[in-house]
Amino acid sequence: MEAYNLAFQKPTWQSETLLSYSSDKAVDGHFMNRSIAGNECAISGGNVTDVTWYVDLESIQSINSISIMYRTDGEHWQTSQFPSTFLGFSLYVSNTTRIKDRVLYYHDDQYTTLSIPPELTFTKPVQARYVTYYNSRKGGLSTKPGYSATASLGLCEVQVFVGITEI
């Protein structure tokens, strides 16, 4: 079976937005220039302790895997500012937008600024309508070694696949 991106051009939302870097940029299929100048990423703004982004697949779907491509700004990844801002993120799936209905799909508690890659794929078959990316600095996470002081997102593409995945 060929992979099919269920998230492509589906409705999205994010809690904080920097200028014109809106939530829909993470599912528009454009991710070759993963910098702020490329205007292809959903980017949060503000000094906040948590950020949320989600895609509505518009119906309950059989998900095989979820891929994330982070903003890099063309910098050497491990020595840039970006890895520290993405550490500790979580992915949730659900059939509603209610927080209490979310089911944890993946939580990062293993990566460091030197080990987190700019592209991630998680394979775990599940049925859901919404895929939510959440990043928080509450509960002392802002002081955890390697973590940035504030929460942010820089999602250049989020792909939700049914079938075999390759990015």
> How many residues are there in the chain?
167
- What residue type is assigned to position 158 of the chain? V
- 94/68 Cα distance (integer angstroms): 18
Is 48 in contact with 148 (CB distance < 8 Å)?
no
Residue type, 87: L
pLDDT higher than threshold 60 for residue 166: no
What whole-number distance in Å separates Cα of residue 159 and Cα of residue 40?
A: 14
* Cβ–Cβ < 8 Å for 56, 158: no
pLDDT at 55: 98
Residue 136's DSSP bridge partners are: 50
Residue 6: both structure tokens together: 């269920």
DSSP lists the bridge partners of residue 94 as 130
75-132: per-residue pLDDT in tens?
889 888 899 999 999 999 999 999 899 999 999 999 999 999 999 999 999 999 999 9
Tokens representing residue 36 in the block: 């702020």
Entry pTM: 0.92
- Domains defined for the chain, CATH in brackets: 4-162 (2.60.120.260)
Burial of 23 (0-12, 13-18, 19+ CB in 10 A): buried
**What's the pLDDT at 47?**
87
Closest to 77 measured CA to CA, from 40, 35, 37: 35
Cα angle 120-89-55, degrees, rounded to a multiple of 5: 75
pLDDT band at 2; cut points 50, 70, 90: low
Q: Which amino acid is at 90?
A: S
> Would the pLDDT of 18 be above 70?
yes
Sequence-distant (6+) residues with CB within 8 A of 76 are: none
